[in-house]
Homo-oligomer: A and B are copies of this chain.
């Protein structure tokens, strides 16, 4: 079968790899119907040192079950399923607490001999705990939105939930990428009435308005902070959803958060140290968030997608075949595409 491998910065290739097979009785094999490229894939695409052997890549997919191991129940050949971007047994104490990203038996796609999602098929460890059945056919028009439950929409939702967004909280979203826009949609879904989106790409911020943003702030850095302060009577917002992951984005979040407020980070931080000193302390700022346990949220979000109440799949603005995945990376890195859907 065909699958995507990364060999280094800017070097993504699609190659023939062995077809996946059941290795453990808890595995399933899933034929991929849709996958996609994540903003976080752009970090290795931007900076990974070159290697002789490539590594599989991709962690978002939905597809059809082709085979299940002897210990997998509740799933059968032919089921359409979505996979969260971390696999997990969904039974350990962390999973029961809704933190499947810390599952005692879980792990990440495309590491430690586990397949990546950007290919034609995937062996799924702990399939029973990991996969969630989708009550639609593989020709459903809802597939793009359903695919966002794998990562990007659940990540935006995690950001809004951990930040404590409610109808009473004002919100700033830092970043107009697919995660930032998902965070806007999530905040709106949780009832927020004032959502300030910080971003400067008009096509994206226009989608942000459709998703629920009430104000757009194109300025960045100190100017961006000043503008948000101006929009909020000098106070900043109760919650800040930091959806970028760079230090300037976090510093901007600190600049726009209201005293007593919360910053949630869901962009993987590209820094080790960050400001956490006297001002943060005196203003009782909370910093929360982290890698999103998508598995914890899928059942809750699924009905809204199925009923068409929300259309998180609108973040996809380009579709490629598996063989075109390298061009999809190029387009996302060049900001020609917001988020690229892969249709094998």
Measured CB to CB, the residues of A under 8 A from B are 94, 97, 99, 101-102, 162, 250, 259-260, 265, 268-269, 271-278, 280-291, 293
- Name the residue of chain B whose CB is nearest to the CB of A274: B276
Taking a contact as CB atoms under 8 Å apart, the answer to whether B281 and A291 are in contact is yes
A280-B290 contact, Cβ under 8 Å, with A99-B260, A102-B259? yes
Q: In the complex, what residues of B have CB within 8 A of residue A287's CB?
A: 276, 286-288
Closest Cβ of chain B to A264, distance in Å, is 9
Closest Cβ of chain B to A245, distance in Å, is 9
Of B94, B282, B286, B289, which one neighbours A291 at CB under 8 angstroms?
B282
Q: In the complex, what residues of B have CB within 8 A of residue A285's CB?
A: 290
What are the 3 A-B residue pairs with the smallest beta carbon separation, nearest first? A284-B290, A272-B277, A102-B259
Taking a contact as CB atoms under 8 Å apart, the answer to whether A288 and B291 are in contact is no
Q: Can you give 18 A-B contacts (C-beta < 8 A)?
A: A94-B259, A94-B260, A97-B260, A99-B260, A101-B282, A101-B284, A102-B260, A102-B284, A162-B284, A268-B278, A268-B281, A269-B277, A271-B277, A272-B276, A272-B278, A276-B287, A281-B291, A285-B290
- Name the residue of chain B whose CB is nearest to the CB of A97: B260
Closest Cβ of chain B to A160, distance in Å, is 15
- In the bound assembly, the distance between CA atoms of A293 and B282 in angstroms comes to 10
Taking a contact as CB atoms under 8 Å apart, the answer to whether B273 and A284 are in contact is no
Of B99, B276, B283, B286, which one neighbours A276 at CB under 8 angstroms?
B276
Q: A273-B277, A280-B290 are in contact. List 17 more A-B contacts (CB 8 A).
A: A94-B259, A99-B259, A101-B282, A268-B281, A269-B276, A269-B277, A271-B276, A271-B277, A273-B273, A273-B275, A273-B276, A274-B277, A281-B289, A283-B290, A284-B289, A284-B291, A286-B288
- In the bound assembly, the distance between CA atoms of A288 and B273 in angstroms comes to 16
- Name the residue of chain B whose CB is nearest to the CB of A271: B277
- In the bound assembly, the distance between CA atoms of A250 and B280 in angstroms comes to 14
Q: In the complex, what residues of B have CB within 8 A of residue A273's CB?
A: 273-277
Q: In the complex, what residues of B have CB within 8 A of residue A288's CB?
A: 284, 286-288
Q: In the complex, what residues of B have CB within 8 A of residue A293's CB?
A: 284
Closest Cβ of chain B to A107, distance in Å, is 12
- In the bound assembly, the distance between CA atoms of A250 and B273 in angstroms comes to 13
- Name the residue of chain B whose CB is nearest to the CB of A279: B272
Q: In the complex, what residues of B have CB within 8 A of residue A274's CB?
A: 273-274, 276-277
Closest Cβ of chain B to A173, distance in Å, is 18
Q: In the complex, what residues of B have CB within 8 A of residue A259's CB?
A: 94, 99, 102
Taking a contact as CB atoms under 8 Å apart, the answer to whether A99 and B284 are in contact is yes
- In the bound assembly, the distance between CA atoms of A226 and B32 in angstroms comes to 43
Q: In the complex, what residues of B have CB within 8 A of residue A271's CB?
A: 276-277
- In the bound assembly, the distance between CA atoms of A290 and B280 in angstroms comes to 8
Q: In the complex, what residues of B have CB within 8 A of residue A289's CB?
A: 281, 284
Closest Cβ of chain B to A206, distance in Å, is 30
Q: In the complex, what residues of B have CB within 8 A of residue A101's CB?
A: 282, 284
- In the bound assembly, the distance between CA atoms of A276 and B250 in angstroms comes to 10
Closest Cβ of chain B to A120, distance in Å, is 29
A282-B290 contact, Cβ under 8 Å, with A259-B94, A260-B97, A260-B99? yes
Taking a contact as CB atoms under 8 Å apart, the answer to whether A281 and B290 are in contact is yes
